Amino acid sequence: MCTVPVMSRICLESYNQPRALYDTLKQRGMDLVTVTDHDSIGAVAELGGMPGFFLSEEVTCTMPSGTEMHAGVYGMRERDHEELQRRRHDLESLLAYVNENDLFLTVNHVYSSLTGKRTDDDFERFARDFHGVEALNGCMLKRANRMAQQFASRYGKPVTGGSDAHTLSGVGKTFTEVRGARSAEDFLAGLRRGQAVAMGEHGDYWKLTAAVWGIGGSLIQAKPWMLLASALFAAAPVVTLGNYLREIAFIWKWGPRHFPPQPDAVAPEMAQ
C-alpha cells in the first residue's frame, strides 16, 4: 500500500502486473530482469521460471540511529525473504545474514528524503557495511544521483542503477549494465567486482507527477467508485511540489557536508 496519509488504506504503490512488467522490460532491451518490490517477493510466483529473471527485494531497514532506509538485496533465494524481513529492524543481524549467505546489499537513494531523516552515523555505516550504492535512480533528482555516485567513488563501492518505476511508462529507462554478462550469475559476479555501470534517466518533478497521475488512473480502473474522489489526483502537482522542495532541502543539507566546494587550484608560480 502507498504511504500517503488517507490513501494508504485504498491505493497501492504500483498496479503493474508481473508478466506485463517482464514483457515491457524485454521489449526495451533488458537481457536480465529483476523486481525490487518493497518488502515483498510476490512477483516470483509468476516470473520465477522466466528466462533471465532473478530474485531481488528492497528491504525497509531500521538503522541503529532509529532512522529508516531502503536496502537493495540482489541474488536472493525465496527462503531468504523471511529471514530478511525478520531481521530488518536489527541491522547487525541483517548484515550478518547477508554476508553469511553471499547476498549483494546496496544502499538505495542515499541522498533522498524518501525514508525520512538521516544521521552522520547512518552514512558512516553505509560506507562501512554496505556492498554497493544505487548511484542512479530513475525517480531521484539528478543532483541526488550525482552525489550518490560521488559517495560510491569515494568509498570504492560498486554501483547499480534502477528505474524505481511504479508505472510501466518508466520501467527499463534506468538500468544497470555489466558488459559481457550472459547470465544472472555473471551479472551478479560482475556487480561484486565493480564492473557495473549505472545508465539511463534521472528523475524530475514532472516525471514524478506523471507517475502519481498514472497510479491514480490505475486505482480508478481497479476501483471505479474512486472516480468520485478523482479531485485528489488533480492535486498531484501540489503534492509532488512539496516532495520536490523536501528533496532539494535534503540535498542542500548533506551536499556541502559531504562534498564541500573545492577552492580554485593555485597557479604554480603563485605557490612558489
> Nearest-CA neighbor of 134 among 67, 89, 180, 199?
199
CA–centroid distance for 137 within its chain = 6
Q: Which residue has the higher pLDDT, 261 or 248?
A: 248
Q: Which residue has the higher pLDDT, 230 or 193?
A: 193
Last-in-domain residue among 204, 230, 249: 204
| Mean local confidence (pLDDT), 238-256 | 94
pLDDT in tens, 162-207: 999 989 999 999 999 999 999 999 999 999 999 999 999 999 999 9
Amino acid at 217: G
Q: Which residue has the higher pLDDT, 100 or 217?
A: 100
All three cell numbers of 249, joined, read 532541502
**pLDDT interval class at 9 (50, 70, 90):** confident
> Nearest-CA neighbor of 147 among 19, 22, 252?
252
**pLDDT interval class at 268 (50, 70, 90):** very low
DSSP category for residue 167: S
Query: Based on the domain organization, do 23 and 56 belong to the same domain?
Result: yes
Answer whether 74's CB lies under 8 Å from 47's CB: no
Cell 529473471: give the residue. 53
DSSP run (H or E) holding 137: strand 132-137
Query: Based on the domain organization, do 154 and 220 belong to the same domain?
Result: no
Model's pTM, two decimal places? 0.90
CA–centroid distance for 139 within its chain = 8
What is the spatial distance between Cα 34 and Cα 188, in angstroms, rounded to a whole number?
A: 12
Last-in-domain residue among 160, 187, 204: 204
What is the spatial distance between Cα 116 and Cα 246, in angstroms, rounded to a whole number?
A: 10
Helix, coil or strand: residue 118? coil
Query: Based on the domain organization, do 20 and 37 belong to the same domain?
Result: yes
| Mean local confidence (pLDDT), 95-110 | 97
pLDDT in tens, 38-87: 999 999 999 999 999 999 999 999 999 999 999 999 999 999 999 999 99
Q: What is the pLDDT of residue 18?
A: 93
**pLDDT interval class at 213 (50, 70, 90):** confident
Query: Based on the domain organization, do 40 and 152 belong to the same domain?
Result: yes
Backbone angles phi, psi at 72, to 5 degrees: -85, 130
Helix, coil or strand: residue 227? helix
Residue 270 lies inside a defined structural domain of this protein:
no
Distances (CA, A) of 52 to 17, 49, 98, 164, 259: 18, 9, 23, 19, 38
Identify the weakest region by mean pLDDT among 5-9, 18-22, 72-76, 104-108. 5-9
Query: Based on the domain organization, do 141 and 224 belong to the same domain?
Result: no
Residue 265 lies inside a defined structural domain of this protein:
no
| Mean local confidence (pLDDT), 256-267 | 74
Query: Based on the domain organization, do 199 and 222 belong to the same domain?
Result: no
Last-in-domain residue among 182, 204, 226: 204
Query: Based on the domain organization, do 156 and 246 belong to the same domain?
Result: no
Residue 263 lies inside a defined structural domain of this protein:
no
Query: Based on the domain organization, do 178 and 247 belong to the same domain?
Result: no
pLDDT in tens, 127-155: 999 999 999 999 999 999 999 999 999 99
Q: What is the pLDDT of residue 4?
A: 65
Q: What is the pLDDT of residue 7?
A: 67
Show the domain range for 174: 7-204
DSSP run (H or E) holding 246: helix 236-258
Query: Based on the domain organization, do 25 and 106 belong to the same domain?
Result: yes
Q: Compute the mean pLDDT over every residue in the chain, rounded to the nearest whole number.
A: 91
Query: Based on the domain organization, do 135 and 162 belong to the same domain?
Result: yes
Residue 1 lies inside a defined structural domain of this protein:
no
All three cell numbers of 85, joined, read 524481513
The structural domain count of the chain equals: 2
Q: Looking at residue 116, which CATH number applies to its domain?
A: 3.20.20.140
Query: Based on the domain organization, do 213 and 122 belong to the same domain?
Result: no
- Residue 225 pLDDT > 80: no
Residue 181 lies inside a defined structural domain of this protein:
yes
DSSP category for residue 219: H
DSSP run (H or E) holding 241: helix 236-258
Residue 113 lies inside a defined structural domain of this protein:
yes
Residue 97, CB-side half-sphere exposure with 13 Å CA sphere: 18
Residue 140 lies inside a defined structural domain of this protein:
yes
Answer whether 43's CB lies under 8 Å from 100's CB: no
What is the spatial distance between Cα 219 and Cα 10, in angstroms, rounded to a whole number?
A: 8
Answer whether 254's CB lies under 8 Å from 111's CB: yes
Residue 158 lies inside a defined structural domain of this protein:
yes
Query: Based on the domain organization, do 115 and 241 belong to the same domain?
Result: no
Neighbours of 88 (CB within 10 A): 17
